[in-house]
A and B are shown apart, each in its own frame.
Chain A
Amino acid sequence: DAKTTQPTSMDCAEGRAANLPCNHSTISGNEYVYWYRQIHSQGPQYIIHGLKNNETNEMASLIITEDRKSSTLILPHATLRDTAVYYCIVTNSGNQFYFGTGTSLTVIP
């Protein structure tokens, strides 16, 4: 079962930063936080993942709180192509991914 909670939907103005929150209060010490997105029923696309340190790559930044009970995915300059459903996933020991309902992000021109 999914172990994360995300808002159902969010809007963001084009060119502004999109900040997508995720709660994972039951995360255990060796579990990673992963973010994926799915654009219009395509296969989910990997964005970023982290354990406890903040991470940044060419797509996004991941901010994980010190207690690791929540995290935020930041898209620094949202474009219309970033409109998608964003999934926050906390892994279990068997490496399986259990998807929650995700956040539907709409980038508004």
Chain B
Amino acid sequence: SAVISQKPSRDICQRGTSLTIQCQVDSQVTMMFWYRQQPGQSLTLIATANQGSEATYESGFVIDKFPISRPNLTFSTLTVSNMSPEDSSIYLCSVEYSGVSSYEQYFGPGTRLTVT
């Protein structure tokens, strides 16, 4: 399995500002994913981030609001832009490890964001 870290672990931000969340993995991976988990809800996939290409966003998420960078095979960032209280959530990254015929995803510990 992978060791995945996220920074910051939590933050409190004012509306209208932006926050960049970092995701670091201890080995090279091709596919990384970003999720949002709103209070009391399940996880929702935001986007898929492959190194060397633009992130692919899920329906309801746009690059202007959630720009993603993937500069190398061990690192990615997610920015939450122009924040509002509705953006208060836990943001999680995950990485995919491929086996012979299947794969597994491993998740980071999450970043708990509160927007006031």
Contacts and interface: CB of A to CB of B under 8 A. Distances in A.
Interface residues of A, number: 22
> Size class of B's contact patch?
20 to 34
Contacts of B101: 51
Given A94-B48, A96-B45, A100-B42, A43 B33 contact: no
Contact residues of B: prevailing secondary structure = strand
Nearest to B31: A95
Given A49-B104, A96-B45, A42 B31 contact: no
Contact residues of A: prevailing secondary structure = loop
A45 interface: yes
B107 interface: yes
Contacts of B48: 94-96
Interface of A: 2, 32, 34, 36, 41-46, 49, 51, 87, 94-102
